[in-house]
A and B are shown apart, each in its own frame.
Chain A
Amino acid sequence: MVQYTQSHFDASFAALSDVTRRGVLEQLARADASITDLAGKFNMTLTGMKKHVGVLEQAGLVTTEKVGRVRTCKLGVCRLEEEAAWIERYRQLWAARFSALDAVLEELKRKEKSDGRRKKK
């Protein structure tokens, strides 16, 4: 596990060490794009851009999908982990609030019950 994490980090850092690749990630954070689009935006040959995208893909920062003759690039799985962490933080906030709400509701129920008994007498 540690081994995996280490090599994963190394691949990520290597991928991020290049200014064009950082630019590509920024671009993909805004919208998915084809390799042709990216090559055009960064003023590069198609082959050059393919290499950069390949490095990002290996690091798990980008995924690509070929539809017809166009290969579309989008931000990779790391995004999903971030999202899972976001949801868990959000859940913890509400779980804490709702546990406190349980206690308030128990008290309201007890109060209602004893008020009810008093009325009957």
Chain B
Amino acid sequence: MDAGRKSEPMGNRTTVVKRSEREVVVTRSFDAPARLVFEAWSKPELFKRWWVPKSMGMTLHSIEMDVRTGGKYRLGFGDGMDFFGRYIEVTPFSKIVWTNEESGENGSVTTVTFEERGGKTLLVMSELYPSKEALDAAGTGAQDALHETFTQLDELLARA
């Protein structure tokens, strides 16, 4: 269960809070200036290296990202499983807002802000769903698969 926690540097813990019935907010600090964090979010060749970590047990087959206001993105995981949407707002080094349209009208809008403080960057990410039901349902997809993967990893480590 602790697979994600162990590898996090001291003081850079990922926190998750439900701000309302339809909004989840994630915060995390990074030991890098905002422009580098922004770069890792906006350049496909960098983005694909962390968005789908090995522990997720999924492989990214294709990636298209046009990170500017009005631009589109599409992440293909094979077998027709695509995640796609539009960038509603992109402000270099400080903010990216995009839609998640693969779930149709239940899709969330994700807002990420990067705030630099003394060479470190505080990242705040909000996922706003159209309804409480849409948020609850979102917990049963990829995240459950990930949870399983972590359990498998724990078992593997326990045996080693």
Residues in A lying within 8 Å of B, measured CB to CB: 83, 86-106, 108-109, 112
Q: List 12 A-B contacts (CB under 8 A).
A: A87-B16, A91-B14, A91-B16, A92-B146, A94-B125, A95-B4, A99-B8, A104-B40, A104-B46, A105-B30, A108-B39, A108-B40
Residue B9 lies at the interface, judged by CB distance under 8 Å to chain A = yes
Contact present for A94 and B40 (CB under 8 Å): no
User: With a CB–CB cut-off of 8 A, which chain B residues contact A89?
Assistant: 139, 143-144, 146-147
- With an 8 Å Cβ cutoff, the count of chain B residues facing the other chain is 40
Contact present for A86 and B139 (CB under 8 Å): yes
User: With a CB–CB cut-off of 8 A, which chain A residues contact B13?
Assistant: 95
Of chain A, the residue at the smallest CB distance from B32 is A105
Q: Are A94 and B18 also in contact (CB < 8 A) when A104-B50, A112-B36 are?
A: no
Contact present for A105 and B36 (CB under 8 Å): yes
Contact present for A98 and B139 (CB under 8 Å): no
User: With a CB–CB cut-off of 8 A, which chain B residues contact A101?
Assistant: 30, 37, 40, 50
Number of residue pairs spanning A and B whose beta carbons lie under 8 angstroms apart = 98
Residue B83 lies at the interface, judged by CB distance under 8 Å to chain A = no
Give the secondary structure class of A's interface: helix
Contact present for B18 and A99 (CB under 8 Å): no
User: With a CB–CB cut-off of 8 A, which chain A residues contact B16?
Assistant: 87, 90-91, 94
Alpha-carbon distance between A100 and B28 when the two chains are bound, in angstroms: 13
The segment out of B51-59, B73-81, B95-103 that lies at the interface is B51-59
Contact present for A95 and B147 (CB under 8 Å): no
Q: Which residues of B in the span 32-47 have a Cβ within 8 Å of any Cβ on A?
A: 32, 36-37, 39-40, 46
Alpha-carbon distance between A92 and B37 when the two chains are bound, in angstroms: 20
